[in-house]
Amino acid sequence: MREIDELIESEISRPSVFIDESVLYPEYVPSNIRHRDQQFKQLARVFKPMLIKPGSVSAKVLLIGAVGTGKTVTAMAFGRAVTTAANKKGLSLHYAHINCSRSNNAASIFRDLKNQLGLPIPDRGLSVHEMISAILEVMEREDLYALVTLDEFDYFINASSPEDRYLVLRFYDVFKMSAKRLSFMYVVRGSPTHILSKLDSFTGSYLMKNVVTFDPYKASELYDILSDRVELAFYPGVVGEEVIDYIAHLTGYDTGGDGNARKALAILHAAGKLADKDMIEGRANRVTLDHVRAVVAQEYPALIDVLDTIHYLPLHELLVLKAIAIALTVSETDYVTTGEVEEIYRKLCLELGESPRGHTKVYMYIIDLRQRGIIMTKSSVKGKRGRSTYIGFGAVPLNVLIQRLDNVIRNKKLLR
Ligand SMILES: Nc1ncnc2c1ncn2[C@@H]1O[C@H](COP(=O)(O)OP(=O)(O)O)[C@@H](O)[C@H]1O
Ligand SMILES: [Mg+2]
């Protein structure tokens, strides 16, 4: 007990630049969304009928833009605001946010929806159509409405069958109901032409009726987004304006960056971490431009994308990814074999009291990790004999990845 007290005490008294680091995590939803008034206005226009004539139409809108342009936070904040407004009017409207990189077929989307709405419908034993009918029936009976965001919808478009696409995109053409209780926001990355190329023209034009675009952020906009977050995350005076300005210019669309707010925040976060390290060693008491430069030098972009994805992977896929990272660290080579990875994976399972998945499943996880661009694979490696699948890794510093994976794995274990 004594040791734990001391541990906590020393952790608390350890010098740090952060008051609250968690507001810099990608999953944090800020209460103040900057420079998206235009988008909020457009959304309000599309979903107005939902509030003034509930059930009259199923409103649909496509939110489109590059990574880190605030699509997800805007959808969530809008969902929150609309629900509050509706509830004030005595309307039972709920907001559901479904990530299609996790739920990429109709069955899992509607199961997820049913769970988020808390409807008393069993998980198993129903076909998709039966599941949807059951959802509609309960909503009708209990007079419920829902605004549903299908985030990372490109995963669904890429992975789904034509039947599933039809079902999800033309929902009320399949389920003819007089009261339309579900409305949708589809969130996709990239440009409208990119999305249209993946859909038949009929479905495509249907989806393009209401489009809200998210342009990459300019440096001045990122400056505001960063400033807000600095105030919540750091002690006063620890991050100077010059640091915020520097990061904003590195990442601003009009100043040569890609206008990605997630990247800007990740750089700020990482610079803070470096400053913390220096602080413990008595070498710094604030975040400096050199901290920012050091972070940028480490090819951060690749890491940001990976860290963003890992939240949505199942526990055992994360364990396989961790095994890959460990195998690469231990062997100090560029590529390791699936055999080596599996051996470490089984050890990790043992440590966690998890029963390991079989060879085929592990292989499927590896293929999925490759498809997500997290790892690279090849079937032969110079200087190594025999045929096997060799696994390598992009630009991400392995120790940072392993540390982050541990956090996510711990949370996943707790949630089960
Ligand atoms: N306008 C904004 N105001 C405040 N924070 C923002 C804004 N836009 C993006 N962010 C932050 O930047 C990160 C990326 O935003 P996100 O909505 O996930 O982008 P996208 O979904 O377009 O990839 C998140 O941490 C989010 O909180
Ligand atoms: Mg997003």
Q: How confident is the model at residue 179 (pLDDT cuts 50, 70, 90)?
A: very high
For a pocket test of ligand 1, which of 262, 265, 268 has the largest count of ligand atoms closer than 8 A to its C-beta?
262
CA distances from residue 43 to 40, 69, 82, 217, 349 in whole angstroms, order as listed = 5, 16, 10, 19, 46
Q: Where are the domains of the chain?
A: 37-214, 217-297, 313-415
Q: Diameter of the chain by CA atoms?
A: 70
Asked whether the predicted pLDDT for residue 223 surpasses 80, the reply is yes
Which runs of consecutive H residues, i.e. helices, occur in 99-176?
106-117, 128-142, 153-159, 162-169, 171-174
* 191 vs 64: which has the higher pLDDT: 64
* 408 vs 218: which has the higher pLDDT: 218
Q: How much distance in Å is there from the Cα of 403 to the middle of ligand 2?
A: 23
Torsion of CA 271, 273, 274, 279, to 10 degrees: 120
pLDDT tens digits, one per residue of 249-308: 888 888 877 899 999 999 999 999 999 999 988 888 999 988 887 887 665 555 556 666
Q: How much distance in Å is there from the Cα of 214 to the middle of ligand 2?
A: 11
* Range in 51-55, 228-232, 353-357, 389-393 the model is least confident about: 389-393
Give the number of other Cβ atoms within 10 Å of residue 209's Cβ: 10
What does the mean pLDDT of the chain come to? 88
Gap between the Cα atoms of 257 and 188, Å rounded: 21
Q: What percent of the chain has pLDDT over 70?
A: 89
Q: How confident is the model at residue 241 (pLDDT cuts 50, 70, 90)?
A: very high
pLDDT tens digits, one per residue of 335-370: 788 899 999 999 999 999 999 999 999 999 998 888
Taking the CA of residue 76 as reference, the ligand 1 atom at the shortest distance is: 17
Mean pLDDT of 297-323: 76
Structural tokens at position 188: 């996709």
Residue 53: per-residue pLDDT: 96
Gap between the Cα atoms of 221 and 236, Å rounded: 21
Taking the CA of residue 221 as reference, the ligand 1 atom at the shortest distance is: 1
Atom 1 of ligand 1, residue of closest alpha carbon: 34
- Confirm or reject CATH 3.40.720.10 for domain 313-415, answering yes or no: no
* 226 vs 377: which has the higher pLDDT: 226
Q: How much distance in Å is there from the Cα of 346 to the middle of ligand 2?
A: 33
In this structure, are residues 285 and 297 in contact, taking their beta carbons and an 8 Å threshold? Answer: no
Q: How confident is the model at residue 195 (pLDDT cuts 50, 70, 90)?
A: confident
pLDDT tens digits, one per residue of 106-160: 999 999 999 999 999 998 899 999 999 999 999 999 999 999 999 999 889 888 8
Gap between the Cα atoms of 279 and 18, Å rounded: 11
Residue 58: per-residue pLDDT: 95
* Range in 199-203, 237-241, 360-364 the model is least confident about: 199-203
Residue 5: per-residue pLDDT: 79
- Exposure class string for 280-291: b at 16+ Cβ within 10 A, else e: eeeebebbbeeb
Which runs of consecutive H residues, i.e. helices, occur in 241-358?
241-251, 261-280, 289-297, 300-310, 315-331, 338-352
Atom 9 of ligand 1, residue of closest alpha carbon: 70
Q: How much distance in Å is there from the Cα of 365 to the middle of ligand 1?
A: 29
Rg from Cα positions in the chain? 24
Taking the CA of residue 67 as reference, the ligand 1 atom at the shortest distance is: 23
Residue 35: per-residue pLDDT: 98
Residue 307: per-residue pLDDT: 66
CA distances from residue 199 to 169, 210, 314, 371 in whole angstroms, order as listed = 11, 16, 28, 21
Atom 18 of ligand 1, residue of closest alpha carbon: 72
Architecture of the CATH domain 217-297: Orthogonal Bundle (1.10)
C-alpha 402 chain-centroid distance? 18
Which runs of consecutive H residues, i.e. helices, occur in 23-96?
37-52, 71-88
Which ligand does the CA of 150 lie closest to? 2
Gap between the Cα atoms of 158 and 155, Å rounded: 5
> Measured between alpha carbons, how far apart are the two ends of the chain, in Å?
28
Structural tokens at position 298: 């480490």
- The H or E element that residue 391 is part of is strand 390-393
Q: How much distance in Å is there from the Cα of 25 to the middle of ligand 1?
A: 11
Asked whether the predicted pLDDT for residue 219 surpasses 80, the reply is yes
CA contacts within 13 A on the Cβ side of 384:
15
Atom 15 of ligand 1, residue of closest alpha carbon: 70
Residue 395: per-residue pLDDT: 46
Asked whether the predicted pLDDT for residue 41 surpasses 80, the reply is yes
Do the domains 37-214 and 217-297 sit in the same CATH topology, yes or no?
Answer: no
Q: How much distance in Å is there from the Cα of 151 to the middle of ligand 2?
A: 7
Q: How confident is the model at residue 201 (pLDDT cuts 50, 70, 90)?
A: confident
Closest CA to 255 of 219, 293, 229, 290: 219
Residue 254: per-residue pLDDT: 86
Averaging pLDDT over each range in 9-18, 232-241, 291-300, which range is the top one?
Answer: 232-241
Gap between the Cα atoms of 253 and 335, Å rounded: 35
Taking the CA of residue 35 as reference, the ligand 1 atom at the shortest distance is: 1
Surrounding ion ligand 2 within 5 Å at CB are 72
Q: How much distance in Å is there from the Cα of 222 to the middle of ligand 1?
A: 10
Can you give the length of the chain in residues?
A: 416
Gap between the Cα atoms of 298 and 376, Å rounded: 19
* Three-state SS annotation for 142-162: HCCEEEEEEECHHHHHHHCCH
pLDDT tens digits, one per residue of 57-66: 999 999 999 9
Gap between the Cα atoms of 81 and 95, Å rounded: 10
pLDDT tens digits, one per residue of 151-171: 999 889 888 898 999 999 999
Q: What is the CATH number of domain 37-214?
A: 3.40.50.300
